[in-house]
Amino acid sequence: MELFEKVAYLKGLAEGLALDTETKEGKLIAAIIDVLDEMCEKVGEIEEDLYDMEEGLDAVSDDLSEVEEVLYEALEDEEEDDEDEDDDTEWFETTCPVCEEEILFDEDELEAGEIICPNCGEKLEFDLSDLAAESEDEED
């Protein structure tokens, strides 16, 4: 039996017993039944609202799943592209004379002739003229 059916049953019992609402006990029982009836209506409204929220939440969850799927596919594609780019990059390593931490940098940074140490902020400069002279000697 549902809650509203139980309250209706109690109302019927009170009416069937010809409850005298002029007595203290009768007034109390009638008031309790009225409060139960109001509570039953509110619970019904809350259940309807809850059902609507569950439906909305399911829709949002479905939408979120679609967004996650698209996002993860895009991230996977980006990672694959990054892996392809990483394979072509030649990395160089040096030790910072100030903080003595190892620093990795690519060919573009080497050709620029200077880098900033990511650990301590020291500016490191490279003289590539010796390398250029050596490569010319090797070609001859």
Read off the pLDDT of residues 107-121 as tens digits, 9 standing for 90 and up: 888 888 889 999 999
Per-domain boundaries in the chain: 3-87, 89-139
Q: Residue ranges of the alpha helices (H) in the chain?
A: 3-16, 24-88, 107-112, 129-139
If one compares 90 and 98, the residue with the highest pLDDT of the two is 98
Pick 1 or 136 by higher pLDDT.
1
Q: Which of 38-42, 52-56, 87-91 has the lowest mean pLDDT?
A: 87-91
Express each pLDDT in 30-45 by its tens digit.
999 999 999 999 999 9
Which residue do the tokens 């060919």 mark? 107
Distance CA 32, CA 19 (A): 13
Average pLDDT over residues 78-84: 70
Distance CA 17, CA 40 (A): 22
pTM listed for this prediction: 0.44
